[in-house]
Amino acid sequence: MDHGRVQVIGSQAEYAQALLVATAAGRLAVVDFTAKWCGPCNAIAPVFVQLSNKYPTVDFVKVDVDEQAEIAAAHGVSAMPTFIFIKNGQRIDELRGANAARLEQLIQKHSSAGGAEEEESDLKLPAGHSDVTQNVDKAQGECLNQSTEHKWDNIFKKDDSFLESDTDEQLLLYIPFNQPIKIHSLCFQAPDDGRAPQTVKLFVNKRDMDFQSVDSAPATQVIELKADDVKGDKLVPLRFVKFQNVSSITIFVESNQGGEPTTVIQRLRFIGQAQSATNMNEFKRVAGEKGETHG
């Protein structure tokens, strides 16, 4: 089973360490007290995983009440599922029952970030969409023909770093996400000296592509960027219907705007919806407020 960012506790020492780490970082910790025999617990478990990926500034912890009875007793947990919210070492809230909508509300209420980075004031987002760049799985991504000094993960930083191609103007980025997303549009930022990308081919859910395969494979969409499209304050809309269930996107920069020897991208953002946001709305409450009694 994929646990996402959820830490499954195996001992009291692990639990204490998890809370210490959250407290030291000033983060909210959400503890899911669960049991294998509990139907509502099993129903909401994948939602808890989705939320862990959606809210990277929150720590998510899972405790099996049968395997870690002492921890459950210390918190007075007697019904499952019970979610305990801990911040700065203090218990600040509790939710009993598999109420997915209320669970996310409490996470938003008690977390400082509210689940997403604050958007720059110069970027107007379409209704129902947000910056989902935080869902990029940087550890699994890669870029072919990148400079050793200016690598691909720089495009997700809010500083002066950048990505630059190496031997010629072309770049091939493979960008996976930690959960399926819907992509509405892209936002590029690049210099105005001719090194900004121009012809860009996008491929959805295609792994292990190389420069030969991107030349022969049909692209999901081809976009032609102009100078106004790469200032960091404009959305480049995609054919939304073709970007509905994106687990990874391959971006082939075929050329730049000035015929320069190398291409530079300072920043790239993805605007759309995390699938968990959609799933949460469809998730029906499967237990009463008081949860399922442990018996």
Query: What tokens were used for 113?
Result: 């970030």
At 271, is the secondary structure helix, strand, or coil? strand
At 105, is the secondary structure helix, strand, or coil? helix
Q: Hey, CA dihedral for 198, 116, 156, 137, is it positive or negative?
A: negative
Q: Which of 174, 184, 192, 179 is nearest to 269 (CA)?
A: 184
Q: At what angle do helices 275-282 and 39-54 cross, to 10 degrees?
A: 150
What span, in angstroms and rounded, lies between the C-alpha atoms of 129 and 140? 25
In angstroms, the Cα distances linking 36 to 69, 173, 295 are 13, 41, 13
Query: What tokens were used for 40?
Result: 């509502």
b/e for 224-242, b at 16 or more Cβ within 10 A?
ebeeebbebebbbebeeee
Active site amino acids = 38, 41
What span, in angstroms and rounded, lies between the C-alpha atoms of 207 and 217? 12
Residue showing tokens 């015929």: 259
Question: Where in the chain does DSSP place strands (E)?
Answer: 6-8, 29-34, 59-64, 79-80, 82-87, 90-96, 130-131, 142-144, 163-164, 171-189, 199-204, 221-224, 236-237, 246-253, 264-265, 267-274, 292-293
